[in-house]
Amino acid sequence: MPELPEVETIASGLWPMLAEQAIENVTILNDTSVEGDRTALEEFVAGREITHVHRRGKLLLMDLSIPQKYKDKLPVPRSEYPLQLAFHLKMSGRLFVYPEGTPPAKHTRIIFDLSNGNRLFFDDMRKFGFCRALAPCDYLNWQFWQQLGPEPLVIKTDAFVSLFHSRRTRIKAALLDQKVIAGIGNIYADESLFRAGIRPDTPSNEISKKNLGLLHVKLKEVLKQAIRECGSSIRDYRDAHGDAGAFQNNFLVYGRSGQDCRVCGEPLKTEKVAGRTTVYCEQCQK
């Protein structure tokens, strides 16, 4: 599943291609790829200009304008009007811009026809991903949105330490919990814990505040490096231009079970934490 660096990379790649473009038409090819109010997506998004593309946690967000013709007389109350499109890519979701007239592919689930003639496809082979049109009321009613934790690249280190120091949950499980901190998945949890020298199965409240502060520093380092290298491509992930990421070439532990640690030379160990395969070094992560 694309994590924070992958979604950030996709958003920054899409924005130059979508800036100042209006969505002329929305075609839904698969009902389960829409979450929330289908009418809001199918009928009330057409005519809206895309004013920004960015990220929240693992969600890719497209901000929408209010069409001039509706500013004085809306077909529905403005409080119900979509302000954003939220995409969760899940396991295999992709967003690509294609030239005018490009037919949908086998796994295309939603088509957005743009004012310059191009077409934005939401493709999703496994059908786990979704698009949701967000109106102001949805931010209060959508439980997933309401429960998202703070952003790891934004939260201050003192607040990060306080967030984790009172929890009994194993530290990797806490990092994976989107209600605790948003955007972190298996890859970047393993990599940041290794760099901080913390075993992934350690209860959070047994880690010193000093080491939790170090973990936040290393987590930000890992995320920023992964963003610079356009994310990690293991199977399906490609950026907005169809290119693979490169951070997988710098993994120190993730996916390297049984191989020698690149720091101390000892074989890396594997266990399950929070139901996820976890790779760590017994020597480097005390």
Q: Residue 74's pLDDT is what?
A: 57
What pLDDT is stored for residue 59 in this prediction?
97
d(C-alpha 277, C-alpha 270), whole Å: 7
As annotated, the active-site residues are 2-3, 58, 276
Paired tokens of 188: 């970047």
Q: What one-character DSSP code corresponds to residue 135? A: P
Structure tokens at 166: 């009172």
Is 146 in a helix, a strand, or coil? helix
Among 93, 85, 82, 83, smallest CA distance to 10 is for: 93
The pLDDT of residue 70 is 59
For domain 4-146, give the CATH superfamily. MutM-like, N-terminal (3.20.190.10)
Is the pLDDT score of 84 beyond 70? yes
Structure tokens at 70: 């509706």
**Domain layout of the chain by residue ranges:** 4-146, 157-280
Q: Give the pair of three-digit tokens for residue 42.
A: 């199918």
Average pLDDT of the residues in 97-101: 96
Q: How far apart are the first and last CA of the chain?
A: 29
Torsion, CA 37, CA 9, CA 274, CA 147, rounded to 10: -40
Residue 143: both structure tokens together: 């439980």
* d(C-alpha 231, C-alpha 106), whole Å: 26
- Interior angle at CA 88, CA 85 and CA 93, nearest 5: 110
Q: Which residues, in sequence order, are CB contacts of 25 under 8 Å at separation 6+? A: 46, 111, 112, 113
CB 59 within 8 A of CB 183: no
- In tens, the pLDDT along 213-251 reads 999 999 999 999 999 998 987 767 787 878 778 889 999
Which residue carries 């951070």 as its tokens?
A: 247
Work out whether the CA dihedral 150, 152, 158, 160 comes out positive or negative: positive
Return the pLDDT at 136.
77
Residue % of the chain over a pLDDT of 90: 79
Q: What is the pLDDT of residues 184-213, one digit of tens each?
A: 999 999 999 999 999 999 999 999 999 999
44 band by pLDDT with thresholds 50, 70 and 90: confident
Q: To which H or E segment does residue 93 belong? A: strand 93-98
Look at residue 21 in the predicted model and tell me its pLDDT: 96
| CATH 3.40.50.300, domain 157-280, yes or no | no
pLDDT of residue 17: 97
pLDDT score at 234: 73
pTM of the model: 0.92
